[in-house]
Structure 1
Amino acid sequence: MLEQAVAAGDLDAARSAAQQLWTAGDHRFDAQLVLLVDAMRRSDWKAARVFLAGRADKAGMNPVARLIVPTFQAWIDVGARARRPDRHLMAAAGTRAEPALMLQIVLVHAATRRGNDAARLADEIGLSDRLSQLVARRAAATLDRAGEGAAAERLRARIVLAAGEREDPMLLLPDQPVTSPRAGSAQWLGLLADSLARTPTGDAKLPLLFARAAHWLNDEDWAVRATLVEALIRDGQEGAAMALLDGLRGKLPPVLAMRQAELIADSGNLADGLERAAAAARDDAPRALLVRLADLARRSGDARAASAAYERLDAALGEEDRALRSSLLLARAELKLQADEWDAASPLIERAVALQPDDPVVLNFAGYSALERRKDVQRSIARIEAAWAKAPQNASITDSLGWAYFLTGRTDEAVELLEKAQRGEPDNAVIVEHLGDAYWQAGRKFLARYSWRAAALLADAEMATRIEAKLRDGLTPATVAP
């Protein structure tokens, strides 16, 4: 019942189930966190201390508890107006002076009207990782609120330097100061949920628990809302994630409006998704949002919208963005190829190769696009061979080289490479059809028909028609794959 209530976001049901477990002596972590959050929502600092200490015998061994206990102890003391609430965080930060925890001390100082101490400490903290940069954004906004604007600006300047060119959606959310114990605990839980969700092999339940608890503490925190949306999606609750964003329609920051647009597109409504994305990325949108707009435009199949998005993104790139500019050129070339405009696509492809001459994906795209149209076959093959030499385990590049050899009569080599490509991507209809054609050319007609039938199960309408003809008449010049 507790786990289901947390998943559904039903605090009343979660509290009831947690209280029953706690009273029965089952002091499990999720029950502790729900009861702790409920006590803080009621400003019952005495009860909050009781619940926080309820698993003290396990806290020394539980890494999850170690993450939250010092911060909650500090904020509970702030709420209870206890002396030196920062002592818990100072002890937890230890001699290593963990920057994210030290920045929590900055927040606590500011909340207890020790603005000068907060400013001095903020100047001393290095921003060594993503978590510290995200906490620093909240600390800067809080310093502003405390009247320490100069210290806030110095901290923001260091966030920009530490973040570099990384385009993190969390860094695009509005700055929000931390002004209360509930807000302080919520921002920390939300950041932990975000970090836990980024663990590739992690469980979806713990990030969702932390994100739910954070949202119950402060549902006006944009970072918490963004984290809960992602936790719900990871838990398979796309509908609940959509509902959370729909309830704030018209008030969403651009980065969350873009996430909403992507979810709408993922649900099958590409046109509406693209319209929302365009609205989210209007005016002087940051590059990260333009990248996402361009991707949605490409997915939508709206060539005009995609072209416009690519042009806006291209204008936003600097000289140092060689890799991204190269990818953008290939995306623009792909639009031209879809419209059967080789002469317009070719210069874009060559510019991409000039920017990234050693990139296997770029070389393969350049070689295969030309090979499909039987343009400059020898140079195309040379480019694909160079791509394969750099990435021999890439199934798409292996397929390209095998197909290049098929087209130039090197059938045995083609079969060997296409078999390898098919093992790498057995559900790729293009690769499977290529292999069938190569088998036929090699005289292995039973295997050819077997491959064609497998490809037909995955094929689009055009491919299915071509394969039907091959199954009926065998391979002919008219039915060879593109």
Structure 2
Amino acid sequence: MSDRDIQLYFDARLAEIDARDTDALQTYQTLFKSHGDSAALADRLFDNAIRIGNMDAAVRAARAQELQGAATGAVPMLLFADALKRRQWNDAENAATLLEEKSNFGFAAPILRSWTNIARGKAHRFKIDDAREQALLNYYSTDQRAYFELAEGKLDRAKIMLEGFIGMDDDFARDLLIRAAPIYAAKGDQKFASFIIEKAVERRNSDSLTGPKQSQSDANFSAEQGFAALNTRLAASLVEQNVPDQGLILARVAVWLDPASDAAKRTLARALQATGSPALARGTWAMIPESSPYWTRAVGEQVRHYSDEGNYTTALKLAQNAVERRPDSASLILLAAQAQERLGDFKSASKAYERLVDDADQAGVPPTQMALYLLFYATALDKNGRWTEAKSFLDKARNLDPNNPYILNYLGYSLLERGENLETALSYVKQAHMLEPDSAAIVDSLGWGYYLNGQYEQAVIHLEKAVQQSGNDLTINEHMGDAYWKAGRRVDARYAWKTAKHLAKDEDAARLAEKINIGLPLTRR
């Protein structure tokens, strides 16, 4: 490169750092015209194009990576999508082969070839020879097999498959039912459309998906849409597994192939958020209309995003605005109540949870769901200084769902803290630990229960495990210090209290400072 080109390259890198993605992309494209053989430049162009959604530039960079033998990861999926859109079947087969040879997504190659067959008007011919040896293919093709039948117009065969996804608590299962329902409604089978969508979305959305006004376009399902669904599912899995960079590529491919898919947009927003592009994520969430069955979930993800940033006021405002639009949405009422709790407004949160419980009682929700609502209500009441009422609701929740570890833990820990019925309280926490042994909060409760019962060695064993699981948690580290002190390990106690003090403020910090200086008083606290 000339000195001028090197300067342009560094200008582009600085633009990326400053989140001026459009400026960076323009500069990379300018450089790429005369330096198309640069592997570093192809990588930068690809990453930037994917981030802002310029798929033409991303494809050019991906082809350069292919020529350089560097098209790994999710890149072959993009190349296949491009070939599918252009109806270039040789390129599609080359991309599928590249996926097998160079990518950890190679297991999906049979799915790609099946979509090629469908796009060419042929039978999909998908099969799995050995489900155990092809476990990943078997897992990620569960919904794809139903999509194959929908795309081929074999609705009777698809019906049999779709019934198996009803009630599944997985996004990919709901996505399939949401996509299939309008197809059957458009074909005049509103009864089956309503049957499969009933538990997948809120009532107000189900009517728009299954009513008699579905257009003829709703009856069609393309290979592009089916492959987009695969990319959406894989992208969501990668984001959950903390591999968001590859997930972002697949999510971009999904939206590119099926720009009307709100499922793909929601996954793209999550991937953008996870890769450090919050502004782009918010813009993508905003593309999901209020009429969409994905709108409520998109609002929830934005509220959680602001809460994670510590911006509780914005989170609450967003949740309350959503409740005003949909006052009958239990999930939105729950979001608003949780946001009020984070701001310390336990009185308002209690009222919101009370409404949630009353509405759920009238609607006749399942006992396990009602138990959760009662737990939330009791928690807010407890924090609002109304323990007697809170305990009565916790008892009701435990009766409705006696094997819920979080209800058992909250009830048990609350009783332990108040010195009420310690033996029963410890039995609740022990049961919670048996049901959820990997929860740091529950292990902490168990350790603290042993501490309050004077079993300090047992307390240390469990609290050390809780510290390992939780990392930087103020309460758990303070409990650890208290247990060490009572067990005679004074140096370890002060170390644990110092760790907790680094996380503490105001009264908590003052209390921990006193413990570090003089240790525990003669009383149990």
TM bucket, shorter chain: 0.7 to 0.9
The structure 2 residue matched to 1:278, chosen from 311, 320, 324, is 320
1:88-127 alignment to 2 at 5 Å?
88-89=123-124, 91-92=125-126, 100-109=144-153, 119-123=155-159, 125-127=161-163
- Going from structure 1 to structure 2, the CA distance change for 1:235 and 1:191 (only over 3 Å counts) comes to farther
Change (3 A) 1:460 1:68: farther
Structure-2 separation of matches of 1:391 and 1:409: 24
Aligned to 1:267: 309
1:302 is aligned to 2:361 = no
Question: TM-score, normalised to structure 2's length?
Answer: 0.71
Q: Which residue of structure 1 lines up, in the alignment, with residue 181 of structure 2?
A: 140
Report the CA distance between 1:369 and its aligned residue.
1.0
Structure 1 residue 190: Cα displacement: 3.2
In the other structure, the counterpart of 2:281 is 241
1:466 aligns with 2:519: no
Query: Who is 1:16 aligned against?
Result: 60
Identity %: 26
Q: Residue 339 in 1 paired to residue 384 in 2?
A: yes
RMSD over equivalenced CA pairs, Å: 4.1
1:342/1:185 CA distance change after superposition, 3 Å: same
| Gap runs ≥5 in structure 1 | 78-84, 110-117
Q: Deviation digits for residues 247-266 of structure 1, max 9, x if unmatched?
A: 56777633323333333333
Aligned to 1:112: none
Q: Which residue of 2 aligns with 1:154?
A: 192
Task: Please tell me the residue identity of whatever aligns with 1:311.
Answer: E
Alignment CA distance shift 1:186-1:286 (3 Å)? farther
Task: Tell me the distance in 1 between the aligned counterparts of 2:59 and 2:219.
Answer: 20
CA contact (8 A) 1:411 1:441 kept: yes
**CA distance, structure 2, for counterparts of residue 98 and residue 250 of structure 1:** 30
Summarize deviations over 1:123-167 as a string: whole Å, max 9, x none: 55553346566334323313444xx222x432441454xxx6x77
Matches within 5 A, 1:50-449: 50-55=90-95, 57=97, 62-75=106-119, 77=120, 85=121, 87-89=122-124, 91-92=125-126, 100-109=144-153, 119-123=155-159, 125-129=161-165, 131=172, 134-145=175-186, 148-150=187-189, 152-160=190-198, 175=209, 179=217, 184-196=222-234, 197-198=236-237, 201=241, 203-246=243-286, 253-281=295-323, 282-283=325-326, 285-314=328-357, 315-316=359-360, 321-388=366-433, 394-449=439-494
Q: Which runs of 5+ in 2 are unaligned?
A: 1-42, 130-137
2-side partners of 1:337 and 1:379: how far apart?
19
Q: For 2:63 and 2:497, how far apart are their aligned partners in 1?
A: 61
**Separation in 2 of the partners of 1:412 and 1:94?**
54
**Aligned partners of 2:455, 2:68: CA distance in 1, in Å?**
75
The answer to whether the Cα contact below 8 Å between 2:451 and 2:483 also exists between their aligned partners in 1 is yes
Name whichever of 228-237 and 451-460 sits farther off: 228-237
Deviations 1:19-51 (A, max 9, x none): 44456787768665545655666xx54xx3342
Tell me the distance in 2 between the aligned counterparts of 1:453 and 1:405: 23
Instruction: Provide the TM-score with structure 1 as the length reference.
Output: 0.76
